[in-house]
Amino acid sequence: MSGIATKVPFLTLNDGNRMPIIGLGTYEAPPGVVENVVRVAIDAGYRHFDCADFYENEHEVGQAIRDAIRDGKVKRDELFITTKVWPNWHGKGRPTLSAKRSLKNLGLPYVDLLLIHWPTPLKQVDDNFYPTDATGQALFDNTIELIDVWKEFEQIKKDGLTRSIGVSNFNSQQIEDLIKNSSTVPVVNQVECHPYLSQEKLLNWCESRGIKLTAYSPLARSGTVEEKNTTSPLDIPVIKQLASKYGVSAAAICIKWQTQRGVSVIPKSATKERIIANIDLFNFNLTDSEVKAINDLNRDWRNNTWTQFGINKHRNWPFAIPF
């Protein structure tokens, strides 16, 4: 591994597996670009890659990973690969098919972490991530219970297709229902998290149950809404001041803040310099008061509202309760 890679701390999950605290997000990384991005990231020391069937680029991600393994740059057991099952694959037997589909695209025999991408089962069709009716309303499948999806995830793990299982975009009650009705506690809940959405209550709740939080959209850039009058976290004075103090990028401060709270982070970038800067941040530590200053920026502002096509009308819409 490179010098950077050896300095990236791990989080130990509740099933004993270990996850690098920083990974590379691959959402909205287009085919033709993402393959080179992953190559650059591996050279920079990334060993954690966050993927999903929904991103429609797993074939390219997998190609870069397999090439790096072939070329001796990294071993498979040094990597931590995550993928996710989209809500149109929640029906009986379909999470297994989705997992196998991702494995085929990645060209790998197993992933390290499989997540339920969203807790809102949609109509079970193969060829449309957002099945809708003639009015544009998302079509739901309310016959599907999340606990049944979770129990199939348990079997997928037993079958060796994934090392660990978890959830994404679940609220505390939805996770509690899984815990009470199964023998497995999710290892991770992957959620939107950034200085405007610190997720402090959900973080504390998950920690009390041995669940790690992973932050996507750590710079508040990806989502379903774009508030033009919302200042980027990278332009917040306190973030800029800390970046200047420590001689790093503003993005690095936002990411460092997360890791010091015990949150894993999956920033994305297509720029070599930013890819390197986003991971090379373990030679300094924010003070407790600086961490608190960033915590205090929270205003519970969510960029990914999960409201497109009326999905917020779903009985399992996760943002109907505070956390």
Question: Any bridge partners for residue 212, and if so which?
Answer: 188
Give CA–CA dist 4/281, Å, rounded: 9
Closest CA to 87 of 320, 323, 316, 251: 316
Q: Give the CA count within 13 Å in the CB-facing half-sphere of 184.
A: 23
Instruction: List the catalytic residue out of 55, 110, 196, 246.
Output: 55
Measured CA distances, 29 to 94, 269, 275 (Å) = 26, 8, 13
CA atoms within 13 A on the CB side of 158: 8
Contact partners, residue 308, CB within 8 Å, separation at least 6: 130, 138, 224
The secondary element (H helix, E strand) that includes residue 37 is helix 34-44
228 alpha-carbon distance from chain centroid? 25
CA 116 to chain centre: 11
Cβ proximity of 247 and 283 under 8 Å: no
* Cα separation, 153 vs 161, whole angstroms: 10
Catalytic residue list contains 55:
yes
The answer to whether the CB of 58 falls within 8 A of the CB of 35 is no
DSSP 169-196: S--HHHHHHHHHTSS---SEEEEE-BTT
Q: Torsions phi, psi of 213, nearest 5?
A: -100, 135
Which positions are annotated as active-site residues?
55
